[in-house]
Each structure stands twice: as structure tokens, then as C-alpha cells.
Amino acid sequence: MPQDEFIIKTYLMVDALYNQLVQKPLRQGGFAPKLSDCELICMEIVGEFLGMDTDKKIWQYFKQHWQNWVPNLGSYPNFAKQCANLYWVKQQMHQKITANWCEQ
């Protein structure tokens, strides 16, 4: 499968799961991040699949190769903070995927 198709399919899967799990806004105050939560989680999944084992490597990869797809990709510190803040959502996604596989 071409890489761009993999990214699109991953994003669609993440978006569907995210919308099932997150029923109300996660943030109460402050500025909303420029990068959507679904975009960020998709980037992490794709980066991990490609063998990147740190947030920094994933951020650098998308900054260098996919900037036109994620024009709102800001600084690395903001990316890392958003990654950390979404830990609960990612854990819930993992549990839901695992539960679905175990049922089959």
C-alpha cells in the first residue's frame, strides 16, 4: 500500500475511534492546539509503524516529508506536549482495538 494511502486510512480509523471515545471537549481553557488531536494521533501511529521510536523523530519525519499535509505542525515542544496530554485518549483507543480483536 502506498504510504499516502496508509496515512489516509490510519487517519480515518483514528477519527472514527476518537469520535466514539471523546464525547465532550478535552480542553477547558487556553488556546486550542493548531494540530487536531486526530492528526497528531495518526502521525504517532504512522511514525511508530515506520520504526520511529520517539516523538522527536516522528515530528521531524512529518516536518520534512509531509509538511504540506500537516501545515499546522508547529514546534516540537508543542507537539510533544500535545502527545503527552493525549495519553488517556490513546490508552482508551488501544483498549477498544484490543477488545474488538479479542471478540473475533
Establish if 25 belongs to a structural domain.
no
Domain range for 71 is 35-104
Establish if 18 belongs to a structural domain.
no
Q: How high is the pLDDT of residue 103? A: 65
Q: Is the pLDDT of residue 49 over 90?
A: yes
Q: Which residues touch 44 (CB under 8 Å, ≥6 apart)? A: 55, 58, 83, 90
pTM of this structure: 0.86
pLDDT in tens, 63-100: 999 999 999 999 999 999 999 989 999 998 888 888 77
Q: Is the pLDDT of residue 7 over 80?
A: yes
Q: What cell was used for 36?
A: 487536531
Establish if 23 belongs to a structural domain.
no
Establish if 6 belongs to a structural domain.
no
> Do 26 and 41 form a contact (C-beta atoms < 8 A)?
no
> How many domains are contained in the chain?
1
Place of cell 493548531: 34
